[in-house]
Amino acid sequence: MGAYLLKRLVSNVLLVAIAASMAYFLAATSLNPRAKYEGRQPPVAEAVIDSTLDDYNLNDKKPVFERYVTWVSGVVTGDLGKTWQGKSVNDEMGRRIGVSLRLLLIGTVLGSGIGVAVGAFAAIRQYRVSDRVIGVAAFVIMAVPVFVMAKMLTIGAVGMNELLGTKLEYTGEYTPGLSGWDQTLSRLNHLILPTISLCLGQIAFYSRIQRNMMLDVLGQDFVRTARAKGLSRKAALLKHALRTALVPAATYFAFTFGTLLTGAIFTEKIFGWNGMGAWLVDSIQQNDTNAVAAVNLFAAVCVLFAGLLSDFIVAALDPRVRVS
Amino acid sequence: MRSKVVFARMLRNRQTRYGLIALLVLLLLAYVGPFFGPHDWLEKDFAAFMEPPSADHWWGTTQIGQDVYAVALHGMQKSIVIGFLVALISTGLAALVGASAGYFGGWLDKALMWGADLLLVLPSFLIIAIVSPNLRGGSWLWFVLLLAAFSWMITSRVVRSMTLSLREREYILAARYMGIPGWKIIIRHVVPNLSSLLIIDATLNVSAAIIGEAGLSFFGFGVQPPDVSLGTLIAAGSDKVPGYSWLFLFPSGLLVLLVLSVNLIGDGLRDALDPGSNS
């Protein structure tokens, strides 16, 4: 078992290394940070541009492989290089991970939690009106892409603000110039709409998985046994059925959380949050080679960790896995 | 006749019926609708910039005076073509790669599955976004190929594991002992036996591709001007929300309806073709 796990880990690390390297080569050969300096008024001397780009390891006159070696030797020691403006990629990344985490932690936990609850509820009330309504709603929500959803929420918020005089915020992370309690309230206010836009799709998704799993489990012998030995319907459903039926949803949870860190691109861009997802788009549009490589490396590592996390969650929830 | 049974079961499914009707209506709207509109999609009405919906411009006009009804339907044509092409290519690729990996085994299996794993690790969004600026001025068909290249991996794994068990069936063994070459067995015997899985996968891939195209175009990484698609229209319209929301609402409405109808068909097909599924 240990040897198998080790082998899997090594092959996964190898995949991440190859993925990150390919992304670096792609970014380094096709993005052009030089253009950022060449277009300036007053014009900058070529020698100056060259030496600046050399400092940041972005000079396209150097062979790609040489730049790659410099980049890798930095990454190995934990230095992800410089942005095109010469700032540290590490600092920027740390700040952005914080922003993304704040948004995603709440969004993912709420989305999956409510989704699982709704799905389990629908399964228990199979074929009744409430089950059908939930099913249709989930189906429709899953057909709405997140960028359409986010914009619809914005339209809704603007309409509500005009009608009811509320002040629901739909851009940025906070209102500058506030302090103390007001600042906290403002941050919470700015969180509402992006969190809803992140949640809705997940609720729909998890409710469908959870309903199917729950239906599979409800007919099984061990649930009947639990009832037969005297547990109430509620206890049997919660302790035995729901827990077993949670396994696939938990696996998805681990994976979506890993990919969400860079996957909230639309939500972050539309609501003006400067997190990792927004950086993915911004760095490409700004020809910021090292930042693109860093985001890509980060995303690959996230997927790797998500795989490990899902293994752990499954082991914790599923009695069969622990026994073998 | 299996195909007849499947078709009958499919039509008996209410979801699929509604989905098919909705898709048919949308296809008619996209390809016949423009002939009934009062304006051509290339026409610019210099007397009406950013006008709300009216009798003359049914869905309003854009910033440069284009008729939103005509432009949106034109964009929907492109989205539909992209969706179906990507689904066809990616499901075909998944079938070929998965079936050859499962059937031939050995180093080919290892190499193909390793390649699939690698493509799964690479974030497709990033790669397409980096590559697409280099394709600017190129054809949108490149974009279709890129989207397809990143959406076949998981299905190919499923196909591979199913092929592993199919390989040991008597009719395949018989074919092999008759001296029929491997690639012919794959095309004639393995792939047809996986058809129900592949049909479902292709259907769901259509809606995934339509959403994927729109998402990439939202940031300008997808379909490039002068081509328009629902994605580019939504991107252009979303800047004008909430003041001029018809620019955004009509293309996104079409997108959602399109995805919804395709998903309905896919869901119904799964019920009809997959005996194990409930309902």
A78-100 pLDDT, tens digit per residue, is 888 888 777 888 888 889 888 88
pLDDT at B279: 40
Q: Are the C-beta atoms of B51 and B61 separated by less than 8 Å?
A: yes
pLDDT digits (tens, 9 = 90+) for B63-93: 777 888 888 888 899 999 999 999 999 999 9
Task: Share the mean pLDDT of chain A.
Answer: 82
Asked if A18's CB is within 8 angstroms of B118's CB, the reply is: yes
Question: What are the residues facing B61 on neighbouring strands?
Answer: B67
Q: Quote the distance between the C-alpha of residue B15 and its chain's center.
A: 19
Q: Are the C-beta atoms of A253 and A119 separated by less than 8 Å?
A: no
Contacts with B, A 266-295, CB within 8 Å: 266, 269-270, 280-281, 284-285, 292, 295
In a domain, B130, yes or no: yes
Does residue A293 have a pLDDT over 80? yes
Kindly give, in sequence order, each residue whose CB lies less than 8 Å from that of residue A237, ignoring residues fewer than 6 positions away.
A120, A124, A218, A223
pLDDT at A126: 84
In a domain, B57, yes or no: no
Whether the upstream peptide bond of residue B226 has omega within 30° of 0, thus cis, is yes
Asked if B260's CB is within 8 angstroms of A296's CB, the reply is: no
Give the rounded percent of residues in chain B with a pLDDT score beyond 90.
22
* Mean local confidence (pLDDT), A105-123: 89
Average the pLDDT over each of A22-36, A139-153, A302-316, B30-44 and give the range with the smallest value. Answer: A302-316
pLDDT digits (tens, 9 = 90+) for A252-276: 777 776 666 666 888 888 888 888 8
How big, in percent rounded to 5, are the helix, strand and coil portions of chain B? 75, 0, 25
Is residue B50 within 8 angstroms of chain A, CB to CB?
no
Contacts with B, A 5-44, CB within 8 Å: 15-16, 18-19, 22-23, 26-27, 30-31
pLDDT digits (tens, 9 = 90+) for A184-231: 888 888 888 899 998 998 899 889 888 888 888 887 888 888 888 888
Closest CA to A285 of B225, B132, B238, B148: B132
Give domain limits for chain A: 2-35+98-322
Asked if B256's CB is within 8 angstroms of A31's CB, the reply is: no
Is residue B104 within 8 angstroms of chain A, CB to CB?
no
CA separation for the pair A262, A190 (Å, rounded):
20
In a domain, B59, yes or no: no
Q: Are the C-beta atoms of B216 and B150 separated by less than 8 Å?
A: no
Nearest CB to A148: which of B131, B220, B234? B234
pLDDT at B275: 58
- Domain total for chain B? 1
CATH of the domain at B74: 1.10.3720.10
Show the domain range for B262.
2-38+68-273
CA separation for the pair B208, B191 (Å, rounded):
23
Average the pLDDT over each of A12-16, A312-316, A318-322, B146-150 and give the range with the smallest value. Answer: A318-322
pLDDT at A324: 44
Radius of gyration for chain A, computed over Cα atoms and rounded to the nearest angstrom: 24
Asked if B215's CB is within 8 angstroms of A145's CB, the reply is: yes
Does residue B278 have a pLDDT over 70? no
Asked if B207's CB is within 8 angstroms of A139's CB, the reply is: no
Q: Is the ipTM of this complex over 0.95?
A: no
Q: Compute the nearest-CA separation of B238 from chain A (Å).
A: 7
pTM over cut 0.80: yes
Q: Are the C-beta atoms of A147 and B234 separated by less than 8 Å?
A: yes
CB-count burial class (<10 Å; 0-12, 13-18, 19+) for B174: exposed
Pick the CATH number of A2-35+98-322 from 3.40.50.880, 3.30.1370.160, 1.10.3720.10, 3.90.226.10: 1.10.3720.10
Q: Are the C-beta atoms of B95 and B153 separated by less than 8 Å?
A: no
Does residue A321 have a pLDDT over 90? no
Q: Are the C-beta atoms of B68 and B129 separated by less than 8 Å?
A: no
> Taking the CB of residue A78, how many other CB atoms lie within 10 A of it?
7
Nearest CB to A151: which of B122, B207, B238? B238
In a domain, B54, yes or no: no
In a domain, B43, yes or no: no
CA separation for the pair A99, B234 (Å, rounded):
27
In a domain, B44, yes or no: no
Q: Is the dihedral of CA A165, A171, A176, A182 positive or negative?
A: positive
Asked if B219's CB is within 8 angstroms of A143's CB, the reply is: no
